[in-house]
Amino acid sequence: MTIGSDRVRIEKSVFVDLLENSVVNGRAPYRRALETSEITYSDLVALSRKAEVPHPLFFAPLHIVQAQLRLKNEKLLQGVVPDTFTVNTRTQVKLRDVELIIKDLLRKQSLARKHDPTLTKNAIVGLLKRPKATAEEDAQVLVDAVGFDRRAVRAARTKDSALEMIIARLEANQVLVSRSVRGFMPQLIEVRFSGMTVRDSKVPYIFLSGGDHGDFQEPAGRQIFTLVLMTVLVARGIFAPVSYDANSRTVEAGREYDIVGEILMPAHELQGAKFESVDDVKNAADQFKVTPSALTVRAMRLGTLNAERAAGLPR
């Protein structure tokens, strides 16, 4: 490290351990330092602040640094497991991709517990940890617990209004929802990322990502499905980053997907339905407040639409 004309040695393993798994691992000063084995003090301070690493740690022995990193990861992992929960996608989210968001949500959980004495043990967390015989039964248990009114959601004037209605019901049950707002988030998300569930016995958090998912889905319709999916994960006791490809037509989506499908698009309402045209699918999707793609996949899983016909329908 250089400070003016002076040079101070930093252990490379310390430098890498502190920054490689942080939000600055792709930044030019960090990558350049690895290539040249040199960094200015001002760049080091800037990187450490962005990564939320106290910069004196760069001058500490390796065993001290590793002990501090273990403590940091234990705090992060108390709310989120490192494995990504994926539906119809192979995209993986690393903890460093969402590290600052997790920290922000953990702080909010701590503040809520500290300042709201009315909080009780959350009734939604782990509600479906022991699944019922069918996805339909699981869906009904969760609908009853949350107070999810299907008719009210469908009667909403827009999908945005329906989304707000679902969020209100979750927050009435102490499941807090945080949404990404570009320019105001703790960090920029550079991976395809749908959201995240963060564990807490009283105030679990759902982080709902916005922006371009690369699948051309309308934001509100996509977010409704994603939000209900993450509510199912909270009820199943699954707390992890979530990556969901709304554009995939695979029918190997899993139990959680079927529970969401039953909540938003009950089987008895789709059995016997005919989707002869693009307009049929779009109209049904608008009725159920989901995207045409979600409606298509649900119909395929129920056997009311075959893959050949689905190929010609909207995504």
Average pLDDT for 188-211: 83
CB 163 within 8 A of CB 230: no
For the CA atoms of 196, 198, 199, 201, the dihedral, rounded to the nearest 10 degrees, stands at: -120
pTM of the full structure: 0.81
pLDDT of residue 216: 45
pLDDT digits (tens, 9 = 90+) for 56-69: 999 999 999 999 98
Higher pLDDT among residues 4 and 200, named by residue: 200
Assess whether pLDDT exceeds 90 at residue 128. yes
Amino acid of residue 72: K
Average pLDDT for 248-271: 84
Rama region for 214: left / alpha / beta (φ>0; ψ in -120 to 50; rest): left
Question: What are the φ/ψ torsions at residue 119 (nearest 5 degrees)?
Answer: -65, 140
Amino acid of residue 18: L
pLDDT of residue 223: 92
Assess whether pLDDT exceeds 50 at residue 213. no
Rounded CA gap, 71 and 1, in Å? 27
pLDDT of residue 185: 58
pLDDT digits (tens, 9 = 90+) for 174-186: 999 998 766 555 5
Average pLDDT for 102-123: 91
Assess whether pLDDT exceeds 80 at residue 194. yes
